[in-house]
Amino acid sequence: MTTEQKTVSNHVLIVGAGGFGRATASLARSDLACGVAWDVKGFLDNRVDLHNPSDLPILGDPLTYQVQEGDIFVCALGDPAAKRQYSANLRKQGANFIILRPDLTTGERVQLSPGGLFERKVSLGPDVQVGELVTILSTTIVGYDVQIGDYCQIASFVFIGGGARIGNDVVIHPHATILPGITIGDGAVVGAGSVVIRDVAPRTTVMGNPAKPFSFR
């Protein structure tokens, strides 16, 4: 009996070839879909001085790259503004940003949007809604009924209580705790280890326990 080799017709390009991009490449290669539904083709990055120790090549600049048949994309950039900037050209061409989720635990009726990147041991409770190009790093717990907007970056070991509302372009740093029912406004930043017990206004940075507004001087 002979076994026919299956042809993989889709090829993942990772936007961002830095350390996070290389970590994302490793995550993608560990996904059961890798080698079956798609393979990892390389990176898109425009930093001319970037050292790339990976065996995967840098195939172009995300600001000018022309999407080819079979290309699918993962965004490995942490800063929400960078996500918007470097995905814009690709999205205008109708690029398919896949959901990378090799070890994601979800409750019922969870809604995930294109471009989601979920590292290992992330848990989403029932009826959670996650926006486009959201990254949630390892060992983070998101409670029931939480809504997360587009382009957010949520770090490792974060807890988000049930019913919380996270706006667009929000950054939550490691070990932060968001209490149930809290609203985090668009563009806000929550510092590492913070405990958020009150709503956070848009474009505000909060730090501490309890978290309070903080400005860099």
Phi first, then psi, for residue 212 (nearest 5°) are: -135, 155
Answer whether 166's CB lies under 8 Å from 182's CB: no
Q: How far is CA 95 from CA 5, 88, 140, 143, 205, in A?
A: 27, 10, 28, 31, 33
Q: How far is CA 57 from CA 45, 73, 122, 153, in A?
A: 10, 15, 29, 26
Task: Give the long-range contacts of residues 185-188, CB within 8 A, separation 24 or more.
Answer: 186/149, 187/80
pLDDT at site 6: 56
Tell me the per-residue pLDDT of 132-144, one tens digit each, with 9 for 90 and over.
999 999 999 999 9
Classify residue 21 by burial, with Cβ atoms within 10 Å: 0-12, 13-18, 19+. buried
Give the residues across from 166 on adjacent strands: 148, 184
* pTM confidence score: 0.93
pLDDT at site 216: 76
Task: Give the residue ranges of the chain where pLDDT is below 70.
Answer: 1-7, 217
Q: Annotation-wise, does 181 bind a ligand? A: no
All domains of the chain in start order, with CATH: 10-92 (3.40.50.20), 100-206 (2.160.10.10)
pLDDT at site 215: 81
Q: How far is CA 180 from CA 101, 121, 217, in A?
A: 25, 21, 31
pLDDT at site 4: 42
Picking from 143, 131, 134, the residue whose alpha carbon sits closest to that of residue 177 is: 143
Percentages (nearest 5) of helix, strand, coil residues in the chain:
10, 30, 60
Q: Would residue 33 be called left, alpha or beta, if left means φ above 0 and alpha means ψ between -120 and 50 degrees?
A: alpha
Within 13 Å of residue 3, how many CA atoms lie on the same side as its CB?
Answer: 2
